[in-house]
């Protein structure tokens, strides 16, 4: 009677090489320090970091161009000061117009 379940077991599950292979794959998928699940997460994070890097490099280039323009052109510097810091000349009045809903 105890050997009845062995007769019903598929031959593949009796194969020791197959069982070792399954164990090895499970070990790689779940238990190893560098398992495939963590590898996938790290690759996804790396992709996001590369995307962020390109975004910030583009922002640095834009800011560098803007800074160079402000350093070389006094009219653009005056425009920047007026728009960003609401600076004005002594004889001027500033009216801030906002769009209503």
C-alpha 62/C-alpha 56 separation (Å) is 10
- 80 in a domain, yes or no? yes
Establish if 94 belongs to a structural domain. no
pLDDT for 81: 83
| 91 part of a folded domain | no
Average pLDDT over residues 21-47: 87
- Which domain covers residue 58, as residue numbers? 7-85
Residues 6+ apart with CB under 8 A from 37: 29, 30
pTM tops 0.75: no
Residue 78: which of 89, 92, 91 has the closest Cα? Answer: 89
Report the domain count for the chain.
Answer: 1
Tens digits of per-residue pLDDT, 82-98?
A: 888 877 778 888 777 88
In a domain, 12, yes or no: yes
Instruction: Decide if 98 is inside a domain.
Output: no
pLDDT tens column, 62-82: 999 999 998 998 888 888 888
> Which of 14-18, 22-26, 41-45 has the highest average model confidence (pLDDT)?
41-45
- Is 46 domain-assigned? yes
Determine, yes or no, domain membership for 69: yes
Residue 59 counted as domain residue:
yes
């Amino acid at each position: 009677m105890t050997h009845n379940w062995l007769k019903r077991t598929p031959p593949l599950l009796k194969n020791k090489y197959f069982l070792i292979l399954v164990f090895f794959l499970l070990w790689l998928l779940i238990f190893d320090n560098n398992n495939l699940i963590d590898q996938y997460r790290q690759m996804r994070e790396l992709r996001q970091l590369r995307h962020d890097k390109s975004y910030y490099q583009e922002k640095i280039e834009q800011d560098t161009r803007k800074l160079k323009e402000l350093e070389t052109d006094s009219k653009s510097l005056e425009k920047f000061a007026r728009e960003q810091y609401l600076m004005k000349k002594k004889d001027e009045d500033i009216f801030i117009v906002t769009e209503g809903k």
